[in-house]
Chains A and B, each alone.
Chain A
């Protein structure tokens, strides 16, 4: 999954949750999903950052 797509899904979950659109049964499941998406986004961000740093170091 692409970073933006993951972020978009995450935002959807958060706004639905804020509007109280999930019932209690769904809540935990969606929270679990949200945490997965957060981890995905973070990982991608970290990976991109370290790659960029590597590239910049090479150029120097």
Chain B
């Protein structure tokens, strides 16, 4: 076995170091994704990764370190500009130079980080989330909701004991309106933001859901709106507010959500999908107080208007009443005159009709009486004539006239004897002459 010249690991690593030191002398700007970030004793240690597009399979991986001296300058600037600290999953552009240490191996030494690149990447991601929300048709859902007129029962999502939450409650309490708040505690910073806020929203929803199903008639939700607030303070990690799942939950929440998560940079997705956004918890309280005041103003205005309209209507009615009242006496006397005229007319007709009727009777009587005299005269004349005739006839039959002419009348026992055979011998008959009688005996 030939003697092989071997190197110690240190010698070999020294070779590598020499090569690297001599060939990779400059500094490079590199784009990479952070797979891991941790701070230790003021230094920042990172795991950089490049993933294949679409498959997410890492195709490059490297360690990177930022020494305390640089990190102390880079960190505040980065966080100020991006609004969040370095964290896994973040895309960064780093200024690096190579370093190989025999004992610690290869790593990129970070001397600067360009926050605008990360900002751009975050914006791109936000745009992607927004596009997806719009595609799902949920992006504008919250803005289509309306704050109820009496928006007083507030579900608050905030971290317990945060200064912002205290300010919010105090401001509502000082407003004089009957606000009631219920806190649904959530983590408002770091990686748990998404999960924690979604859980809080679910708790609010189930409280609302129970109320909706337990009431048969008018369902009353226990809350009028949701407020998500975060105490201000220094710029902190906002990345948790820019996730699709949280945005979807907020966008589709049935109650209006007001966000006041206190940040200065461009709005985050949570702000975009919420019903209304304000910068701080106190601004959120101010918004609610202002809303209540507006409603109060509306009520006051409506009250005044109702009073005004009622008075106006009363005045109109009163005028009409007066006008009607004024017409009454004339109408009454007119009615009276009409009735009197009617009665008078009837009376006149009555008198006329009665007179006509009596006149008619009178004229009938007159007519009859006019006829009566000639009629009686005629009757009398007729009777007289009849009487005369009878007299004449009577006169002509007078026996004395016959006696005068020489005739005589024979009677037997007072009866005129007309036949000789009516007599028998011995009868005493009386013969009457014009002058005197003779008694004779029949033989």
- Residues of A that sit less than 8 Å from B by CB: 7, 10-11, 13-14, 17-18, 20, 22, 24, 27, 31, 34, 38, 41-42, 45, 48-49, 52-53, 56, 59
At the interface, yes or no: B325 with Cβ under 8 Å from chain A?
Answer: yes
Asked if B354 contacts A45 (CB within 8 A), the reply is no
Asked if B329 contacts A31 (CB within 8 A), the reply is no
Q: Which residues of A contact B360 (CB under 8 A)?
A: 20
CA distance A7 to B339 in the complex (A): 10
Q: Which residues of B contact A17 (CB under 8 A)?
A: 349-350, 353-354, 357
CA distance A13 to B339 in the complex (A): 18
Q: Which chain B residue lies CB-closest to A42?
A: B343
Asked if A20 contacts B357 (CB within 8 A), the reply is yes
Asked if B342 contacts A7 (CB within 8 A), the reply is yes
Of residues 326 to 366 in B, which have CB atoms within 8 Å of A's CB atoms?
328-329, 332-333, 336, 339-340, 342-343, 346-347, 349-350, 352-354, 356-358, 360-361
Q: How many residues of B contact A (CB 8 A)?
A: 22
From B329, B339, B346, B357, A24 is in contact (CB under 8 Å) with B357
CA distance A51 to B291 in the complex (A): 62
Asked if A24 contacts B361 (CB within 8 A), the reply is yes
Smallest distance from the beta carbon of A48 to chain B beta carbons, Å?
Answer: 8
Interface string of B407-424 (1 = CB under 8 A from A): 000000000000000000
Q: Which chain A residue lies CB-closest to B344?
A: A38
Asked if B328 contacts A56 (CB within 8 A), the reply is yes
- B328, B343, B352, B360 interface centre (most CB from chain A within 10 Å): B343
Given the known A-B contacts A24-B361, A49-B332, are A34 and B350 also in contact in the complex, defined by CB atoms under 8 Å?
Answer: yes
Given the known A-B contacts A45-B336, A45-B339, A52-B332, are A27 and B357 also in contact in the complex, defined by CB atoms under 8 Å?
Answer: yes
CA distance A46 to B383 in the complex (A): 68
Asked if A13 contacts B343 (CB within 8 A), the reply is no
Smallest distance from the beta carbon of B151 to chain A beta carbons, Å?
Answer: 53
Smallest distance from the beta carbon of B364 to chain A beta carbons, Å?
Answer: 9
Q: Which residues of B contact A42 (CB under 8 A)?
A: 340, 343
Q: Which residues of A contact B353 (CB under 8 A)?
A: 14, 17-18
From B329, B339, B350, A41 is in contact (CB under 8 Å) with B339
Asked if A56 contacts B329 (CB within 8 A), the reply is yes
Q: Which chain A residue lies CB-closest to B332?
A: A52
Asked if A14 contacts B340 (CB within 8 A), the reply is no
Asked if A27 contacts B358 (CB within 8 A), the reply is yes
Smallest distance from the beta carbon of A34 to chain B beta carbons, Å?
Answer: 5
A/B pair count, beta carbons within 8 Å: 59
Asked if A41 contacts B332 (CB within 8 A), the reply is no
Q: List 13 A-B contacts (CB under 8 A).
A: A7-B346, A11-B346, A17-B353, A17-B354, A18-B352, A24-B358, A27-B354, A38-B343, A38-B350, A49-B333, A53-B329, A56-B328, A56-B329
Q: Which residues of B contact A48 (CB under 8 A)?
A: 336
Given the known A-B contacts A14-B349, A17-B354, are A41 and B343 also in contact in the complex, defined by CB atoms under 8 Å?
Answer: yes
Given the known A-B contacts A17-B353, A49-B332, A59-B325, are A38 and B347 also in contact in the complex, defined by CB atoms under 8 Å?
Answer: yes
CA distance A38 to B349 in the complex (A): 12
8 A-B pairs besides A14-B353, A49-B332 with CB distance below 8 A are: A7-B346, A10-B343, A10-B350, A14-B349, A31-B350, A38-B346, A45-B336, A49-B333
Asked if B349 contacts A18 (CB within 8 A), the reply is yes
Q: Which residues of A contact B333 (CB under 8 A)?
A: 49
Asked if A49 contacts B336 (CB within 8 A), the reply is yes
Q: Which residues of B contact A22 (CB under 8 A)?
A: 357
CA distance A59 to B325 in the complex (A): 10
CA distance A16 to B357 in the complex (A): 11
Smallest distance from the beta carbon of A1 to chain B beta carbons, Å?
Answer: 15
CA distance A22 to B336 in the complex (A): 31
CA distance A22 to B358 in the complex (A): 11
CA distance A51 to B389 in the complex (A): 86
Smallest distance from the beta carbon of B353 to chain A beta carbons, Å?
Answer: 4
CA distance A45 to B346 in the complex (A): 15
Smallest distance from the beta carbon of A19 to chain B beta carbons, Å?
Answer: 9
Q: Which chain A residue lies CB-closest to B349?
A: A14
Asked if A31 contacts B328 (CB within 8 A), the reply is no
CA distance A59 to B360 in the complex (A): 55
The 4 closest A-B pairs by CB, nearest first: A17-B353, A18-B353, A14-B349, A24-B361
Q: Which residues of A contact B346 (CB under 8 A)?
A: 7, 10-11, 14, 34, 38
Asked if B354 contacts A31 (CB within 8 A), the reply is yes
Asked if B350 contacts A14 (CB within 8 A), the reply is yes
Q: Which residues of B contact A59 (CB under 8 A)?
A: 325
Q: Which chain B residue lies CB-closest to A22?
A: B357
Q: Which residues of B contact A10 (CB under 8 A)?
A: 343, 346, 350
